[in-house]
Amino acid sequence: MPLIRLAALSVVAALTAGCAAQQQPQGGLPQNVTLRNTRTGTSTTVSGAALALVMAQREMARRNNAGAVRLASQAINSKQLAGNDLSTAYAIRGDAYYLGGVSAKARDDWRSAVEMNGQNAMALRGMAIISHMQRKLPESMHYMERAIAASPDNPHLYITRGLLRLQDRRELGLAQADFAKAISLKPDLASAYFYRGLVNHLNGRFALAKTDYEKALEINPGESRARQALGLLEQRRAPADHLAPRTRPNEVVQF
């Protein structure tokens, strides 16, 4: 089953009451697993590797990055994946390594994923992040252009490019355009409003910044950075250093 359907599989996995029709394990994972949706009574059969990758993404959301690496590694080593599906597995493990602070292994996995599939947007984004960390800025933007060309309707790619540009104060206008594009694609993306507000704040457009911060809080009341930024805005103070995107790698790799 193509791993482009992982999002749908995650819903099924969350509702699973049990597994049936498991075949002989291969590489520590069952060849096939039948998942039953307890709400609808329908069943879906997936490979053990595909289910392991869904679980890996779930563990990353829970910030259990070591667990995500373990599950993705099981999927890679299972011999159940090939081609673009195997490329996706390496990209997911690269994200888990990066979130766990192991940038060198993340780079190796993202590079492997790109070599297998030059249109893997997740891995291309990862290579952009690594290139930016190495201060190879033109190379970083080249990877981001490739990632967006491969998946032009993904708002998180525009967030990533905007965050990378935001770290260079000479590219605030381009960063703002990226956050605006993310909003146009996903109007309920709180972080996009926060970061567009941050650019407006840095440029002295306080009324626009206030509107964006308030919108971010309306969408996500737990967006504490927007609340802190509003407090600074009321005092006409510059945004604090801890609001900078470089301290939040999870947002850079969100997909």
Q: One digit per residue, pLDDT tens: the chain, 255 residues?
A: 344 344 444 433 443 334 433 444 444 788 888 877 788 878 788 889 999 999 999 999 999 999 999 999 999 999 999 999 999 999 999 999 999 999 999 999 999 999 999 999 999 999 999 999 999 999 999 999 999 999 999 999 999 999 999 887 788 999 999 999 999 999 999 999 999 999 999 999 999 999 999 999 999 999 999 999 999 998 888 787 667 555 355 566 665
**Residue 5: predicted pLDDT:** 42
Looking at the structure, tell me whether residues 161 and 235 fall in a common domain: yes
Looking at the structure, tell me whether residues 136 and 157 fall in a common domain: no
The total number of structural domains in the chain stands at 2
**Residue 253: predicted pLDDT:** 63
Looking at the structure, tell me whether residues 89 and 147 fall in a common domain: yes
Q: Rounded to an integer, what distance in angstroms lies between the CA atom of residue 163 and that of residue 102?
A: 20
Looking at the structure, tell me whether residues 98 and 145 fall in a common domain: yes
Q: Rounded to an integer, what distance in angstroms lies between the CA atom of residue 156 and that of residue 185?
A: 10
Domain of residue 4: give its range.
1-151
Looking at the structure, tell me whether residues 138 and 173 fall in a common domain: no
Looking at the structure, tell me whether residues 91 and 172 fall in a common domain: no
Q: What is the CATH number of the domain that holds 75?
A: 1.25.40.10
- Contacts with 158 (C-beta within 8 Å, 6 or more apart), sequence order: 148, 178, 179, 181, 182, 185, 192
**Residue 170: predicted pLDDT:** 80
Looking at the structure, tell me whether residues 28 and 127 fall in a common domain: yes
Q: Rounded to an integer, what distance in angstroms lies between the CA atom of residue 216 and that of residue 197?
A: 9
Q: What is the pTM of this model?
A: 0.82
Looking at the structure, tell me whether residues 186 and 137 fall in a common domain: no
